[in-house]
């Protein structure tokens, strides 16, 4: 562990550690009472279907294995996890959620997609209260994403990602720079790396058209600079003077040559691979990819892997996107009560803590947790070199995107505008943003927002 990472660990533990869950973990994990489950097994023999993608994601794989071994033994309820490709997951989610005869009972969904299926989800407010679930154990961004900024809880936070700066500590030390606190610092550090003559790209960004990934860091620029997608009247404002400055800064990394030209087509994993393979010094993306850097086969990468909160705006704010997958129950499920029993176990802090501490099998090794108590847990931070403490710092100021049904139609408009601007360095940024704002306003007007 480098000196920078040791200091980061000490700092994050000092700032974010609260009462650890060690005592809770010592309890019998096969005791139904530990999770508030009905020990009489009233749903014995029930089989549930879980609509979800990406079964090899370590968090999902670990939950599925532990559920089959433990939850089924405690309740008699078995659960089959789906394994849809992420690229087709959204479409299948909409089809199944609106199908009165669907075979699925439980669903996990990306925050932006939830607005289109809220009417088909069983409200969880009474369940949360009766099960004694601590709603305040989730950060503001995750609460917003689970409720659609309403008073109804449609899902419980399940898979959440704060944006982190992933960087090479040795490269920044070589140019005498601290990790960037602002986006303007990113530019300054990038220029220092260029001036040093080192054969490494300063940063790997991703501007390609890949399921709206090129918007993740753009949101942070907008919010940090002091503007937003919409104003209080739902008028698009991302093309105002502040939005223009924020967008220009976001584009500058590729336009100024700090991020490779190929980044105009990269998705986040392709950009992250540049860091993992030692071809880039910095990357800003979801925290679940941290293990890819620490486990890199390139010794210089793995030995100098370091992490910090995503940057903010110079003289402004630090506010990044807190991306969330809530998990809920379809209201048309024939086994609603059994599905709610499963949610008790699946989202329980003991279950979450055990998943994030299971590092013996690489296929189950994950840093992903959503509860503040787990993110602040001492042993969890020790295992993951303080990563959860960094995540806590990010989530304190994280925000979510506009949670309205129309936003899924607006996302492609914004993503295409950003990609066009990145692809054509001669494009008029103001003109492209203005045209995108017109298209967004058309969508909102057709939906009746200005009547």
Of the spans 5-9, 207-211, 356-360, 371-375, which averages the highest pLDDT?
Answer: 371-375
Query: CA angle, 273 as apex, 267 and 274 as ends, to 5°?
Result: 100
Q: 3-state DSSP call for residue 255?
A: helix
163-320+404-446 is a CATH 3.50.50.60 domain = no
Q: What is the pLDDT of residue 46?
A: 98
Identify the sign of the CA torsion 360, 361, 366, 369.
Answer: negative
Smallest CA-to-CA distance from 155 within 99, 212, 93 is with 93
291-311 mean pLDDT: 95
> Can you point out the beta strands (E) in 212-340?
282-286, 305-309, 323-329
147-164 mean pLDDT: 97
Query: What is the pTM for the complete model shown?
Result: 0.89
pLDDT > 90? residue 53: yes
Q: What is the pLDDT of residue 5?
A: 39
Question: What would be the CATH architecture of the domain defined by 20-160+324-382?
Answer: 3-Layer(aba) Sandwich (3.40)
Question: What token pair was written down for 12?
Answer: 């994050």
pLDDT > 60? residue 22: no
369-384 mean pLDDT: 96
Cβ atoms 316, 225 nearer than 8 A: yes
What is the rounded CA–CA span in Å between residue 390 and residue 290?
A: 12
What is the rounded CA–CA span in Å between residue 178 and residue 185?
A: 9
pLDDT per position as a tens digit, 327-353: 999 999 999 999 999 999 999 999 999
Q: What is the pLDDT of residue 87?
A: 84
Cβ atoms 230, 262 nearer than 8 A: no
pLDDT > 50? residue 1: no
What is the rounded CA–CA span in Å between residue 359 and residue 365?
A: 5
Orientation angle between helical segments 241-255 and 216-225, nearest 10 degrees? 130
Say yes or no: do domains 20-160+324-382 and 163-320+404-446 share a fold. yes
145-164 mean pLDDT: 97
Residue 210 pLDDT grade (very low, low, confident, very high; cuts 50, 70, 90): confident
Domain locations in the chain as residue ranges: 20-160+324-382, 163-320+404-446
Averaged pLDDT of the chain: 93
Q: What is the pLDDT of residue 28?
A: 65
What is the rounded CA–CA span in Å between residue 186 and residue 206?
A: 15
pLDDT > 70? residue 15: no
DSSP secondary structure string for all residues of 182-244: BHHHHHHHHHHHHHHT-SSBS-B---S-STTGGGHHHHHHHHHHT--SB-TTS-B-TTSHHHH
Helix ranges (DSSP H) in 69-215: 72-75, 86-97, 111-114, 125-131, 140-147, 169-174, 183-196
195-223 mean pLDDT: 95
What is the rounded CA–CA span in Å between residue 225 and residue 223?
A: 5
Smallest CA-to-CA distance from 267 within 441, 86, 431, 448 is with 86
Burial label for 350, CB within 10 Å (0-12, 13-18, 19+), is middle
Residue 27 pLDDT grade (very low, low, confident, very high; cuts 50, 70, 90): low
What is the rounded CA–CA span in Å between residue 270 and residue 204?
A: 9
Give the CA count within 13 Å in the CB-facing half-sphere of 187: 15
pLDDT per position as a tens digit, 416-447: 999 999 999 999 999 999 999 999 999 999 99
Smallest CA-to-CA distance from 323 within 234, 239, 211 is with 211
Cβ atoms 320, 163 nearer than 8 A: yes
Q: What is the pLDDT of residue 10?
A: 37
What is the rounded CA–CA span in Å between residue 196 and residue 175?
A: 7
Neighbours of 342 (CB within 10 A): 26
Smallest CA-to-CA distance from 186 within 79, 122, 259 is with 259
Neighbours of 150 (CB within 10 A): 12
Q: What is the pLDDT of residue 59?
A: 96
Distances from the Cα of 222 to the Cα of 216, 234, 243, angstroms: 10, 16, 6
pLDDT per position as a tens digit, 99-128: 999 999 999 999 999 999 999 999 999 999
What is the rounded CA–CA span in Å between residue 46 and residue 42?
A: 9
Neighbours of 99 (CB within 10 A): 13
pLDDT > 50? residue 358: yes
């Amino acid at each position: 562990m480098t000196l920078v990472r040791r200091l980061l660990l000490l700092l994050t533990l000092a700032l974010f550690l609260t009462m650890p869950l060690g005592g809770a973990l010592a309890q019998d994990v096969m005791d139904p009472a530990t999770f508030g489950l009905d020990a009489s097994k009233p749903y014995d023999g029930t089989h549930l279907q879980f609509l979800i993608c990406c079964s090899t994601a370590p968090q999902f794989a670990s939950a599925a294995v532990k559920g089959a071994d433990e939850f089924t033994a405690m309740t008699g309820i078995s659960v089959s996890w789906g394994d849809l490709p992420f690229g087709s997951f959204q479409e299948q989610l909409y089809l199944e959620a609106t199908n009165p005869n669907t075979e699925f009972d439980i669903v996990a969904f990306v925050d932006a997609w939830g607005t289109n299926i809220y009417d088909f989800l069983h409200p969880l407010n009474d369940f949360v209260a009766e099960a004694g679930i601590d709603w305040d154990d989730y950060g503001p961004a995750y609460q917003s994403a689970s409720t659609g900024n309403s008073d109804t809880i449609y899902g419980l936070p399940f898979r959440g990602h704060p944006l982190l700066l992933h960087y090479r500590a040795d490269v920044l030390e070589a140019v005498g720079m601290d990790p960037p606190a602002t986006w303007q610092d990113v530019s300054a550090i990038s220029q220092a790396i260029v001036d040093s003559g080192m054969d490494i790209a300063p940063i790997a960004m991703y501007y390609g058209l890949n399921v709206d990934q090129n918007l993740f860091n753009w949101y942070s620029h907008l919010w940090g600079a002091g503007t937003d997608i919409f104003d209080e009247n739902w008028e698009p404002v991302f093309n105002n003077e502040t939005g223009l400055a924020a967008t220009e800064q976001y584009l500058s990394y590729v336009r100024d040559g700090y991020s490779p030209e190929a980044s105009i087509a990269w998705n986040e994993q392709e950009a992250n691979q540049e860091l993992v393979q030692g071809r880039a010094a910095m990357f800003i993306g979801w925290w679940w990819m941290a293990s890819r850097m620490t486990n890199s086969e390139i010794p210089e990468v793995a030995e100098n892997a370091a992490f910090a909160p995503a940057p903010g705006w110079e003289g402004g704010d630090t506010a990044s996107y807190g991306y969330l997958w809530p998990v809920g129950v379809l209201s048309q499920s024939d086994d609603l009560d059994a599905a709610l029993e499963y949610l008790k176990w699946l989202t329980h802090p003991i279950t979450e803590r055990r998943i994030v501490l299971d590092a013996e099998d690489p296929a189950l090794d994950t840093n992903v947790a959503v509860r503040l108590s787990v993110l602040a847990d001492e042993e969890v931070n020790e295992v993951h070199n303080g990563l959860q403490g960094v995540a806590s710092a990010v989530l304190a100021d994280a925000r979510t995107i506009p949670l309205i049904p129309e936003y899924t139609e607006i996302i492609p408009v914004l993503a295409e505008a950003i990609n066009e601007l990145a692809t054509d360095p001669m494009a008029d940024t103001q003109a492209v943003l203005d045209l995108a704002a017109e298209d967004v306003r058309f969508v909102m007007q057709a939906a009746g927002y200005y009547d």
